A and B are shown apart, each in its own frame.
Chain A
Amino acid sequence: MINIRKILSIKVIAVILFSNALLFFLINKLNHSISQYSLYFFLNGIYLIFAATNIRLKTGLFCSFITGLFLDSMFPYSFGLSTVCFIPLHFLLYKNRYKLHRDQNWHITLLAFAINLLLIAILFFSNSNGHLFELPYFIHCTTDLVISQILLILIAPWFFDFQRSTMQWVGVDLSIDDLSNT
């Protein structure tokens, strides 16, 4: 029984990390292409939703932790910002996940929308480098925020479906109590 749970956990971790990495590189590619317009998509909020709302605590937490470290290594802000934000948010989502309609994409998409908004706000204040009260900084951040949130609404349902389908494909049934409970 323990072995089956272990195997399932490894599969879940692999699917979550793989899908997060895939989305990250796709968004990176997109950002690379639109750099000439000085626009930027920031979608870090999307990565922890599935792990926090569908997976049991330890496994999901591990996924959020690794994803946070991965994002921290990729961005030049102080190392640990994503990880330190992800862990409390993961707990918060985990504790309230039974109040959510996890099977309905629009519900968790809205959640991703809110989390992403929060993360951009944190970045806005923590990484301003003394430009916080300058108009160009505000305009640039607002532009990036708007386009990021629009893109998030467009791709989040696909991304959550992709994660769900991949879980099914590798033989993980998310409805099993063994996996979804602590």
Chain B
Amino acid sequence: MTNKSFDKVKPYLLLAIFLLLWRVIPAGVKLFVDNSFYEFQAPVLNLGNHLDDIKKYWALRKSNNPDEIKKGIENSRISASFEVIEHQLKEHEDLLEKIAQLEKQLKLPPFKTHRYEHARVVHRDINAWWQRITIRKGRDYNIPENAAVIFEGGVVGKTKIVNKSSTIIELITSPNFRMAAKFKGDPRPVTFRGSINTGFTDPRGNVKDVPSDILATMTSPQFLVSSELGSIFPEDLPIGYVRGLEPGSNGLFKTGTVELDKRLLYLKEVSILIPIEK
């Protein structure tokens, strides 16, 4: 009889114990479990991306078009010559690094502050709650947290979580993303913030703290670029266009919508700007 009544309350008892345990487990343990689970499955995400690469490679290999083969040979020759140039560039970069070190010793402003780390996008995660991408490189390529990420169209976002072989990047379109910016040709800083985009629309963001004398219209839009005030992004990286500004809630500054690059929603490759000091 006692056993039967215990069986009835057993699930509730277990639930209560679980909820209590979850409450008292230290944050460090939860973080460890979080990281362990992520690192455990991360290679599977990368594997899918590698398989895509192999698929493309074999599709090209199977091509019987002689023109394509000819072009391929030409490309390989060009890439071979590029390798030589790359080697020379590497030497050049080493020399520049030495110059930078000497400049630092002499307290001169640095000439080159960042190096590029190119990476393939493994996964895009874009919704109303979070907007982020995962790339195929992580701590194994010395990628730091909070590093600027760019592509040919301008700012992509910043690195948020760096794992062993992957990095999660918070996109500039994310509602949680903020950065210091400025308008091209105007040194005064403004604040850029990502915004929520509805389905089937181009990515957008918001700009605020815009000085009241700045005008932006449909016919003469303002071009928003990065500012190094936030100490993450270098100067003058493209962000987007502002085609209208309206007075903010305090009346002193203006706010507006920023039209971002459409390609941000289907990025395939990005570059991480790694400060040379790091």
Contact = CB atoms under 8 A, between A and B. Distances in A.
Interface of A: 21, 25, 28-29, 31-32, 35-40, 42, 57, 61, 69-70, 72-77, 79-80, 83-84, 87-88, 91, 94-95, 123, 127, 129, 131, 134, 136-137, 139-141, 143-144, 182
Contact of A140 (B18, B22, B197, B262): B197
Given A73-B41, A144-B127, A144-B128, A38 B11 contact: no
B1 interface: no
Given A36-B265, A42-B127, A140-B127, A87 B195 contact: no
Given A25-B45, A76-B129, A136-B196, 13 more contacts: A28-B123, A32-B123, A35-B265, A57-B11, A73-B38, A74-B37, A80-B22, A136-B197, A137-B196, A139-B198, A139-B199, A140-B197, A144-B199
Contact of B11 (A39, A94, A131, A144): A94
Query: What secondary structure prevails in chain A residues at the interface with B?
Result: helix
Contacts, number: 120
27 contacts: A25-B48, A28-B45, A29-B48, A31-B124, A32-B124, A37-B200, A38-B199, A38-B200, A69-B37, A70-B37, A70-B41, A73-B33, A73-B36, A76-B130, A76-B132, A77-B129, A77-B130, A79-B31, A79-B33, A87-B15, A87-B19, A88-B15, A129-B129, A131-B196, A140-B197, A143-B198, A182-B7
A72 B31 CA distance: 11
Q: Secondary structure of the B side of the interface?
A: helix
A84 B127 contact: no
B91 interface: no
B238 interface: no
Contacts of B12: 91
B248 to A, nearest CB: 17
Interface in B129-167: 129-130, 132
B201 interface: yes
Contacts of A137: 128, 196
Contacts of B168: 76
Per CB-CB distance, the 7 closest pairs between chain A and chain B, nearest first, are A73-B37, A40-B127, A140-B128, A35-B124, A36-B266, A73-B38, A136-B196
